[in-house]
Amino acid sequence: MSKLIKRLDISAHPRLEQSLGYHAENRWVAWHWEPDIEQAIYSDGKTAGTSNSLAWQVFLEHPQVSYDVHNYQLAESEHYWLLLDRKTRNLYVGEGKIVQGLLEQPEGLGLLATLDGNNNPIRDTRYAIAQLSRFNPLRSWLKLVPVGVGAALIAGFGLATWSSVLSPKFSPIPEQKQAIQPVPLTPISPTATCGVGGSGNFSAFVPPTSGDKELHLVGVYESHPHHSGNNHPMGEAQVRVTRQGKPMILALSSYEPVNWKIDIAPGVKIEKIIVNGYHDQKVTGVSGVPIEEYSYKETGKFLGDFLYDWNSANNQGTGGLVSQLNQLTETELTSFQGCYRGTQFEIR
């Protein structure tokens, strides 16, 4: 087992994640504690949100659990995160940045599962490495890697550059959504900037909607990676809006603090801007446009969750971000675009 992430000697109860307030369907989900506000947070690599903190404390203090996790201070510090494989029910503990990096890079999690879940781990791990390196220039190098350090390499390397080796910087609208016909002029521009060191996958969705008004949503988890402990410096993301015609509502969402710099072209009609976040959010570059803020640290409330990957949108239920925006604005979603670490977007 990698020194960066440890598998616990206990298996998760079949309804652990539901008890902790996680109701999506992604295979991997992690929890950590935010000590400055005394709140448990979940993250699955696509969305993040608050968990049931009382259930979190009860779970960690259970005799079958506390023996394995008491050295990690999961109820006091955000340094270590608890990671669950919902398929095998395996539980892991690791440093927050390592777990976060694994959630961003599914290849690393796949290798981790291979290492821990097979009768012949050497054979299967070599197969997993071969599959991961099949179409990239690291193929010959990976053959020389000792099997026992596979998970550590995936975690450490993936935090900075793994996505640039395994996948292109920009990915189009998810394949399973392409059957849905977009509006005649798509609002999504393929020039979004998704940050180095995080997930480079751009996610977007354009449903077939019509009405007198439009609702456009841009979502990220963060705009830079420089967060630790109680230190959450504000980042910056730019959103250029050139789309003309109908009046629109612009919704912006991020877990980490972001200063959203809006660049509006002449003729654009923005009726309102809504910002959603766990940490404080700011909007600059506009004047005369009403701004509504829903950030937990600043206003004590947020809208559903922090969506940055459309693949998880269908699992949100009635309390999710898209659903709450639809109800709040009485407008159906016109477009979504986002990525884990994003700094530049355009609505055209």
The CA distance from 63 to 176, in Å, is 44
Q: In the chain, count H helices and then E strands.
A: 11, 16
DSSP H or E stretch at residue 101: helix 96-104
Nearest CA-CA partner of 207 in 314, 280, 302: 314
- Cα–Cα distances (Å) from 137 to 106, 132, 168, 198, 274, in that order, read 19, 11, 14, 20, 44
The CA distance from 199 to 341, in Å, is 7
Res 202: pLDDT: 81
Radius of gyration of the chain (CA): 21
Quickly count: other Cβ atoms within 10 Å of residue 150's Cβ: 23
Res 300: pLDDT: 83
What lies within 8 Å, CB to CB, of 231 at 6+ separation is none
Give the three-state DSSP class for 266. Answer: coil
Judge whether 324 and 331 are in contact, CB under 8 Å: no
Res 4: pLDDT: 78
Render each residue's pLDDT in the chain as its tens digit; 348 residues.
456 788 888 888 888 998 888 888 889 999 998 876 677 888 888 778 777 778 888 888 888 888 888 888 888 888 899 999 999 999 999 988 888 888 877 777 877 777 776 433 333 334 344 444 443 433 333 333 333 333 333 333 333 333 332 333 333 334 333 333 333 367 887 778 887 545 557 888 888 777 889 999 999 999 888 887 778 899 999 999 999 889 999 999 999 999 999 999 999 999 999 999 999 999 999 999 999 999 888 888 888 788 888 876 554 555 688 989 999 999 999 999 988 889 999 999
Res 275: pLDDT: 96
Domain ranges of the chain: 5-165, 175-347
Judge whether 147 and 122 are in contact, CB under 8 Å: yes
Res 328: pLDDT: 92
